[in-house]
C-alpha cells in the first residue's frame, strides 16, 4: 500500500471484534479483551472505528462519550501499515465524533511513544497515568463482600463523584458480566470502598477501585508484591484537567471503560 488514497474509515461491527482484539494482543495491551470492544460497541457503536487499506483491515480507534467528557482509546494500526497516515485518519475521525457531540473536554492516556503525536492533535499533558501489576493470594475479610445489584446506583453515584462523569453504563455491564469480580467494603452499614475487575489477556484488569478517605497512590507504592510499570500520560484537549484524579481513587480502570 503506497498512499492514504486507498484508506477508508468505517464503523466497527461485531464482525470486527476478533481483529480489534488481535491488535491489542499484538501490541501487548494485556488489560484488553474482546469484551472491552463488545462493551464499547454496546455503549455507542457510532464511536467505534475501523480503518481499511484497500480490502485489508488496518486499524482501530474508539471514542467514548460520557455526559460532559469524551475519551479516545484503543488507537492501534497493524504493524506493517504504520507511518502511512492511517493512525492520524483514525484518530481524527474519533476526535471529530466527540467534537460534534459538543463535549467540554476530551481525554486520553497516551503511551510515551505517542505523546508527540497527540500534542500535534491539540492535546496537552495533565498528569502521569500510573500502572501497577502484581500477583496476590486471595484473602477473606469480614467487611469485604460481593457488590449487590441493588447497591449499584449508590456505587455509580460515588464513581461519578470521584471520576468526574457518569460511567454507569460500563459499571452496570461489569456487574452483569463479572459479578464475582465486583466487591464492596462495608463499615457500619455504609459502603466505604469498591473494586471492580474484569479478565484481560492472562491477568485481571482492576478498576474502578476506590476507598473513601484513602491516599491511594502512596498506599499502592508501598504495597509488597506490586510493581510499578511504565506510566502513560493522561492528556486533555479542553479547559478542564480534572477527570479521574480524586485522591481516594486507587484505579480508574481506563477512563473509557470504567
Ligand atoms: C501510534 C500509531 C497508532 C500511529 O499510527 P500510524 O498509522 O503509524 O500513524 P501515522 O502514519 O498517521 O502518523 C501520525 C504521526 O505520528 C508519527 N509517527 C508514527 N509512527 C511513529 C513512530 N514509530 N515514531 C515516531 N513518530 C511516529 C508520524 O510521523 C506522524 O507525524 P506527522 O504527521 O508529523 O508526520 C501506531 O504507531 C501504533 O499502532 N502503535 C502501537 C499502538 C500505540 O502505541 N498506540 C497509541 C497508544 S496511546
> Which pLDDT belongs to residue 256?
47
Residue 15, C-beta contacts closer than 8 angstroms, at least 6 positions apart: none
CA–CA distance, 5 with 79 (Å, rounded to integer): 19
Residues 42/34, Cβ–Cβ less than 8 Å? no
Ligand 1 geometric centre to CA of 114 (Å): 6
pLDDT of res. 71: 93
Tell me which of 88, 112, 234 to substitute to probe ligand 1's pocket, judged by most ligand atoms within 8 Å of the beta carbon. 88
3-state helix, strand, coil in the chain (%, to 5): 35, 35, 30
Angle among Cα 251, 256, 258 to the nearest 5 degrees reads 45
State the Cα–Cα distance between residues 108 and 164, nearest whole angstrom: 15
For residue 188, say if its preceding peptide bond is cis, omega within 30 degrees of 0: no
Nearest CA to ligand 1 atom 15: 117
Measured from the Cα of 73, ligand 1's closest atom is 48
Distance 29 CA to ligand 1 centre (A): 17
pTM assigned to the model: 0.88
The H-assigned helical ranges of 27-74 are 34-44
pLDDT of residue 70: 92
Q: Which residues line ligand 1 (CB under 6 A)?
A: 27, 75-77, 82-88, 110-111, 113-114, 117, 120
Helix ranges (H only) for 83-209 are: 86-100, 115-120, 152-163, 168-177
Contact (Cβ atoms closer than 8 angstroms) between residue 30 and residue 71? no
Domains by residue range for the chain, with CATH: 4-129 (3.40.630.30), 132-229+239-251 (3.40.630)
Judge whether 237 and 114 are in contact, CB under 8 Å. no
Q: Residue 206 — φ and ψ, nearest 5°?
A: -105, 135
pLDDT (tens, 9 = 90+) of the chain, 258 residues, equals: 544 459 999 999 999 999 999 999 999 999 899 999 999 999 999 999 999 999 999 999 999 999 889 999 999 999 999 999 999 999 999 999 999 999 989 999 999 999 999 999 999 998 888 888 998 887 888 889 999 999 999 999 988 888 888 999 999 999 999 999 999 988 888 888 889 999 998 899 988 888 776 666 666 777 778 888 888 887 888 887 566 565 555 555 554 444
> How many residues in the chain?
258
Amino acid at each position: 500500500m503506497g498512499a492514504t488514497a486507498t484508506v477508508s474509515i468505517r464503523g466497527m461491527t461485531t464482525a470486527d471484534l476478533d481483529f480489534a482484539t488481535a491488535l491489542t494482543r499484538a501490541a501487548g495491551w494485556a488489560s484488553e479483551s474482546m469484551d472491552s470492544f463488545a462493551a464499547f460497541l454496546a455503549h455507542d457503536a457510532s464511536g467505534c472505528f475501523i480503518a481499511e487499506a484497500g480490502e485489508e483491515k488496518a486499524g482501530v480507534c474508539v471514542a467514548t462519550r460520557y455526559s460532559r467528557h469524551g475519551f479516545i482509546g484503543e488507537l492501534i494500526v497493524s504493524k506493517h501499515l504504520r507511518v502511512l497516515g492511517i493512525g492520524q485518519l483514525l484518530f481524527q475521525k474519533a476526535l471529530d465524533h466527540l467534537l460534534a457531540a459538543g463535549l467540554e473536554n476530551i481525554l486520553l492516556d497516551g503511551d510515551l511513544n505517542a505523546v508527540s503525536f497527540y500534542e500535534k492533535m491539540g492535546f496537552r499533558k495533565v498528569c502521569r497515568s500510573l500502572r501497577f501489576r502484581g500477583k496476590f493470594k486471595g484473602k477473606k475479610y469480614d467487611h469485604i463482600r460481593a457488590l449487590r445489584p441493588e447497591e449499584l446506583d449508590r456505587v455509580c453515584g460515588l464513581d461519578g463523584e470521584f471520576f468526574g462523569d457518569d460511567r454507569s453504563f460500563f459499571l452496570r455491564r461489569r456487574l452483569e458480566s463479572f459479578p464475582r469480580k465486583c466487591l464492596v467494603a462495608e463499615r457500619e452499614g455504609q459502603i466505604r470502598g469498591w473494586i471492580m475487575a474484569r479478565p484481560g489477556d492472562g491477568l485481571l484488569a482492576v478498576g474502578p477501585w476506590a476507598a473513601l478517605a484513602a491516599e491511594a497512590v502512596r498506599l499502592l507504592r508501598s504495597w509488597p508484591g506490586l510493581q510499578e510499570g511504565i506510566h502513560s500520560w493522561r492528556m486533555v484537549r479542553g479547559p478542564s484537567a480534572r477527570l479521574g484524579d480524586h485522591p481516594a481513587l486507587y484505579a480508574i480502570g481506563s477512563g473509557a471503560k470504567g
